[in-house]
């Protein structure tokens, strides 16, 4: 007998029929002799709908009341799922954040789980019961209801796996795992059986949004193995583990891309200490997310060029801030508003020489011009013209034997 956390996302509990289906999955796991703690999201679309309601009251809806409002979505699915399980003659019971309690710290809408009482729930499990817990929320030390950030049910599941010391943490969702690239656009994409936490983080921050990144980070910190799988098929999902548990036969695990990027180049910037800091400080203050930054080696020791990428939506704002910035001097500024970032990600890259060359050669064969390059230990990214995105992804997927 093992103890498991099964987390069901919004689409998995998006209708009564689906909730009944989830109840059957839980019953099967329970009948196999496992102790089940189920964590649920709100029904799909519910959280956004609640946010919209608050906007009808005020654009500056009170933070504390917002958390009371948003936490209700998960309360609904908890009760419906527990009811469905009781109908299947299981001893199921839901607990709300304050009943457990799940203690959080930090500000409203962005709190962190720091403690959970395990006693009541463990007792219930020992008596052959199934426990249902709402994701995404907790209660502060002062007794206020809190939420832990959009997509936070994943973080709740990981926290439960850690605190209850469960055997596994299974994330049930509407896709059947993590793919080597976007399967909707590139049909030859393959499901990855095992992926390391770092690779998963690189792939998800680049667009393969399967799990909340901060939940993956927490799992990595405590070495909690995860499994992402589909609620709607019985196929094996993707296991997310420590690198040591994976045999790398390929240098590259996945090809990711981001769209809606823009690139800005400052030409003839003074080459002296403090210039980069002065350039990016006001952008940071305006919460503009700067992604890739590249500075050329200065050829005359006096001036250099700085290139960086941002989201396209931030382009005008960024221009404005740069033009008003009295702390920096540059000769010229130019931009390209339709670029994308293509990245190859793989822990196997570390031990394979020539990956960089192979990527550049593949892109040149497709006559794709590289506008900027950045590398990290397990990732190699290039900026290219947006219209060549799928072309590049397809080619790299083939060249690195992922088809």
Q: Sketch the per residue contact string, 124 through 163, with Mg ion: x for CB under 5 A, - otherwise.
A: ---------------------------x------------
Instruction: Name residue, tokens 């209801």.
Output: 145
DSSP 191: B
Contact between 348 and ligand ASP per CB under 6 A:
no
Residue nearer to ligand ASP on the CB measure, 74 or 314: 74
Distances (CA, A) of 292 to 207, 274, 371: 15, 18, 11
Is 47 one of the binding residues for ligand ASP (CB under 6 A)? Answer: yes
Note whether 9 binds Mg ion by CB under 5 A.
Answer: yes
The span of 40-48, 225-233, 269-277, 291-299 binding ligand ASP (CB under 6 A) equals 40-48
Cα-Cα end-to-end distance for the chain:
39
Element (H, E) at 75: helix 63-87
Is there binding between residue 42 and ligand ASP (CB under 6 A)? yes
Q: Does 134 bind ligand ASP (CB under 6 A)?
A: no
Provide the 8-state DSSP code for 162. Answer: H
Query: Does residue 41 touch ligand ASP according to CB under 6 A?
Result: yes
Instruction: Kindly indicate which of the ranges 3-11, 32-40, 50-58, 370-378 contains the residues binding Mg ion, using the contact rule CB under 5 A.
Output: 3-11
CA dist 283 and 268 (Å) reads 19
User: How distant, in Å, are the alpha carbons of 92, 170, 190, 212, 225 from that of 158?
Assistant: 21, 9, 26, 11, 9
CB of 148 vs ligand ASP, minimal distance in Å: 8
Q: Is residue 346 close enough to count as binding Mg ion by CB under 5 A?
A: no
CA distance 75 to 95: 9
Phi/psi at 196 (nearest 5 deg)? -85, 160
Give whichever of 151 and 348 is closer to ligand ASP, judged by the CB atom. Answer: 151
**Residue 152: helix, strand or coil by DSSP?**
coil
- Shorter beta-carbon distance to Mg ion: residue 40 or 362: 40
Q: Is 135 in the site for ligand ASP (CB under 6 A)?
A: yes
Distance of alpha carbon 150 from alpha carbon 36, whole angstroms: 24
Q: Which residues bind Mg ion (CB under 5 A)?
A: 9, 151
Q: Which residues bind ligand ASP (CB under 6 A)?
A: 10, 41-42, 47, 73, 135-136, 150-153
């Amino acid at each position: 007998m093992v103890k498991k956390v099964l987390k069901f996302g919004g689409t998995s509990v998006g209708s009564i029929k689906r909730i009944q289906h989830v109840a059957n999955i839980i019953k099967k796991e329970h009948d196999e002799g496992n102790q089940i703690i189920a964590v649920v999201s709100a029904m799909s679309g519910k959280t956004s709908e609640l946010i919209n309601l608050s906007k009808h009251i005020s654009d500056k809806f009170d933070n504390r009341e917002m958390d009371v409002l948003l936490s209700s979505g998960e309360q609904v699915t908890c009760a419906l799922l527990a009811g469905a399980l009781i109908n299947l003659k299981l001893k199921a019971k839901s607990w709300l954040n304050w009943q457990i309690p799940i203690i959080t710290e930090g500000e409203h809408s962005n709190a962190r789980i720091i403690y959970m009482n395990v006693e009541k729930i463990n007792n219930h499990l020992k008596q052959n019961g199934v426990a249902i817990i709402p994701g995404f929320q907790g209660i502060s030390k002062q007794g206020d209801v809190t939420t832990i950030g959009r997509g936070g049910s994943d973080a709740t599941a990981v926290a439960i796996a850690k605190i209850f010391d469960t055997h596994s943490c299974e994330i049930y969702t509407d896709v059947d795992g993590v793919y080597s690239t976007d399967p909707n656009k590139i049909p030859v994409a393959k499901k990855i059986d095992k992926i390391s936490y770092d690779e998963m983080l690189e792939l998800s921050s680049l667009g393969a949004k399967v799990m909340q990144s901060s939940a993956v980070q927490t799992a990595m910190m405590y070495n909690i193995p995860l499994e992402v799988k589909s609620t709607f098929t019985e196929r094996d999902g993707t296991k997310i583990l420590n690198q040591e548990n994976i045999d790398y036969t390929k240098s590259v695990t996945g090809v990711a891309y981001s769209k809606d990027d823009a690139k800005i180049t400052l030409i003839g910037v003074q080459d002296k200490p403090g210039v980069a800091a002065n350039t990016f400080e006001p952008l940071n203050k305006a919460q503009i997310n700067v992604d890739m930054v590249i500075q050329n080696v200065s050829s005359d020791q006096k001036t250099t060029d700085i290139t960086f990428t941002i989201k396209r939506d931030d382009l005008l704002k960024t221009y404005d801030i740069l033009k008003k910035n009295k702390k920096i001097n540059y000769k010229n500024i130019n931009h390209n508003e339709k670029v994308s970032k293509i990245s190859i990600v793989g822990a196997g890259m570390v031990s394979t020489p020539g990956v960089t060359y192979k990527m550049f050669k593949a892109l040149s064969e497709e006559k794709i011009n590289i506008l900027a390059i950045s590398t990290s230990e397990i990732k190699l990214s290039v900026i290219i013209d947006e219209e060549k995105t799928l072309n590049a992804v397809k080619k790299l997927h083939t060249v690195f034997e992922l088809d």
